[in-house]
Amino acid sequence: MIAGRAGIVTGASRGLGRATALVLAARGADVVACARDEAALAQTASLANGLPGRVITQRCDVTVEGDVVAAVRRCERDLGPLRYVVANAGHQVERRLHETTNDDWAAVEAVNARGVFWCAKHSIEAMLEHGLGGSIVVVASAVSLTADPNLAAYTSSKHAALGIVRTIAADRGYAAVGIRANAVCPGDMETPMVRQYLDSHDDPERARREIESAYPVERIAAPEEVAAVIAFLVSDDASFMTGAPVPVDGGILSTLYTHA
């Protein structure tokens, strides 16, 4: 059950964040859709017209702690007690470790690790105050459970995100009041981030075919497929799940190697 519950989705201006906001609203949840791009956020809200749940927008840069605090306050002021947060905002730099600059590392960590920390910290403070429990869902990655040598900073930051989830789940004080935390670990999806990665290749279609061939299902995911799993983790149907990394990866983590 998630109908009538209020919460926050970061990175909701496009891709998985937008799909998650719409899936939650379709199931009756109220959503503060957060991102830096206010025009794109307005499109997310427009797409939610007519859905059972309300979608309101809030400009939020997760690398700015005050923005995260403001998003939590907006939820509680305009929609009701914060019952869930989906920490989805992400940043990726494609470089091997020795090629990664300090600025690369800092930019990725600021969004994927520190931003997740602030989303969790300030959401937990609100959940502890109202005592109704809540669900924290972090969008981690398949590389939270393995590694990509060409995504050194991203891989490291997504391992950190999973560590935050497990730390929350291990805290008996949080568990006692019904606060849960889980991580969704997607593979590649049809998102702007993946399309940007493909477009960086000389032959984007060939790059797509190579990526898709690595998956046993021989395709990448639609964002809505991952959003449905996030909605499950937000809901009471997942009431005994906490601290779990949940792969939504088309089977890629099940393979030692693949060949065409």
Query: Which structural domains are found in the chain, ordered by start?
Result: 6-186+223-246 (3.40.50.720), 192-220 (no CATH)
The CA distance from 211 to 203, in Å, is: 13
Point out the catalytic residue in the list 154, 174, 197, 215.
154
Cα dihedral 223, 228, 231, 232 sign: negative
Q: What count of other Cβ atoms lies within 10 Å of the Cβ of residue 257? A: 5
Name every residue whose Cβ is closer than 8 Å to that of residue 29 and which is 6 or more positions away in sequence: 2, 3, 4, 5, 6, 7, 53, 84, 231, 234
The pTM assigned to this predicted structure is 0.94
154 is catalytic: yes
Helix axes 192-199, 204-213, angle to 10 degrees: 120
Residue 106 corresponds to which amino acid?
A
Report DSSP state, residue 98: G
pLDDT at 201: 82
Q: For 170-225, what is each residue's pLDDT tens digit?
A: 999 999 999 999 999 999 998 887 888 788 888 988 988 988 999 999 999 999 99
Q: For 76-109, what is each residue's pLDDT tens digit?
A: 999 999 999 999 999 999 999 999 999 999 999 9
pLDDT at 191: 83
Distance from the Cα of residue 143 to its chain's centroid:
14
pLDDT at 55: 98
